[in-house]
Structure 1
Amino acid sequence: MVNGDDNRVREADVVIARIVKARGLRGEVACDIETDFPERFTSLERVVVWMPDGSRLELSVEDRWFHKGRVILRFGGYDSMTDAQRLVGGRLVISEADARQLEEGRYYEYEIVGSEVATTLGERVGRVERLLRTGGTDLLVVESEGGREYLIPFADDICVEVDPETRRITIAPPEGLLEL
């Protein structure tokens, strides 16, 4: 499980959704869901939104529903499309303490981003800059010291060891992966 690539979001926050657009005339926003537990939105009454400029908003949720794989939210005080457009790009977060415990082998994005990546032979590949959701296997976006970007599938057979405590990921890349 993965969440968020904006380093302004505090490390103790877990991104659960990203506001992608204003929707409708009454101030609703459509959000890409970035949690494996979308049912949490059905009882959400208040939420913290981290804006791209680093500001933090605490908003009350007046209405919510799911539509075409997204959650649609209406917040108190945001009553028009113009109001809602100001929220686009914001990230809905919960505190790490409120996050569900994941089963072994599952990780939140904040536990992965910033990790150093090396091969099983000890060769440094780079640092995880973000995680790219593809609809299938997520991809680690790893940047080398020289600025080269690698896309590494976040799959058990490639990422053979993930240690969020030490912020290290060991990979066994298939032949050619690091030459792409």
Structure 2
Amino acid sequence: MAVGDRSKASSKERVVLGKITSVYGVRGWVKVYSHTEPMDNILNYNPWYIELNGRVQAIEVDQGKRHGKGLIAKLVGCDDREVARSYCGVDISVDQGELPELEEGDYYWHQLEQLNVVTESGVELGRVDHLIATGSNDVLVVRGTAQSIDKRERMIPYLPDQVVKEINLEAGTIRVDWDPEF
């Protein structure tokens, strides 16, 4: 089952867990969009890593909390609106080793992204581009590649044992029970 943080892997052994979206108030607080589940789990990680002006830097979270339907955070050293504005639009990442270990058969979303999707009969459907949470189950968004049967985008429900038959991280594949015509 795909569980936990809906995160994206980065190339430096860090995982993107969210984004600073905008400023909040005049005292340096920022609004945060979180890929974690529940969303406020992102506040459990410290420091956050951001790329600002082409340089990766660690920032520490002083405070954070739910606010309405989202999150807000106060960063150490960020005491006014203009400093906070400089952080808007940056991804928040953490060291991959900071993520909790999952039980066997559970995967973080970033582990499934970029895996090749093959039917049980060996037809290559494409590569997992990203996942979508729909409420009832997650969905694999599979985009065609040069090696796949066609260039179509497919939405395949992430239903272990029903549709998703095997995930092999070492081989980089997901085997599915799925009609290539669908």
Q: TM-score normalised to the size of structure 2?
A: 0.78
Question: Between Structure 1 and Structure 2, how many residues are aligned?
Answer: 173
The separation in 1 between residues aligned to 2:77 and 2:119, in whole angstroms, is: 51
| 1:74 to 1:108, Cα distance in 2 relative to 1, 3 A | same
Describe the SS at the equivalent of 1:142: strand
**Cα distance per residue 1:70-123 (max 9 Å; x no partner):** 332111233333433332332222212221101222211221111000111110
Where structure 1 has 5 or more consecutive residues not aligned to the other structure, the ranges are none
**Cα distance per residue 1:31-77 (max 9 Å; x no partner):** 222224656555544221246x8642211212111224533211123
What does 1:121-136 align with in structure 2 at a 5 Å threshold?
Answer: 121-136=121-136
Q: 2:157 aligns with which of 145, 153, 156?
A: 153
The separation in 1 between residues aligned to 2:167 and 2:113, in whole angstroms, is: 12
The separation in 2 between residues aligned to 1:109 and 1:11, in whole angstroms, is: 17
Name the counterpart of 1:92: 92
8 Å Cα contact 1:62/1:74 also seen in 2: yes
The separation in 2 between residues aligned to 1:20 and 1:73, in whole angstroms, is: 11
The separation in 1 between residues aligned to 2:98 and 2:33, in whole angstroms, is: 20
8 Å Cα contact 1:117/1:124 also seen in 2: yes
Name the counterpart of 1:66: 66
Of 102-111 and 114-123, deviating more is 102-111
Where structure 2 has 5 or more consecutive residues not aligned to the other structure, the ranges are none
Residue identity matched to 1:154? Y
Of 57-66 and 25-34, deviating more is 25-34
**Cα distance per residue 1:133-168 (max 9 Å; x no partner):** 334422222111254221222221211211222211
The structure having more radius of gyration, on CA atoms, is 2
Describe the SS at the equivalent of 1:66: strand
The separation in 1 between residues aligned to 2:103 and 2:82, in whole angstroms, is: 41
Percent of residue pairs bearing the same amino acid type: 24
Residue identity matched to 1:134? T
The separation in 2 between residues aligned to 1:22 and 1:44, in whole angstroms, is: 20
Name the counterpart of 1:170: 175
Q: CA RMSD in A?
A: 2.7
Q: TM-score normalised to the size of structure 1?
A: 0.79
Of 17-26 and 114-123, deviating more is 17-26
| 1:69 to 1:76, Cα distance in 2 relative to 1, 3 A | same
8 Å Cα contact 1:21/1:30 also seen in 2: yes
The separation in 2 between residues aligned to 1:42 and 1:114, in whole angstroms, is: 27
Residue 32 (1) aligns with residue 33 (2): yes
Describe the SS at the equivalent of 2:110: helix
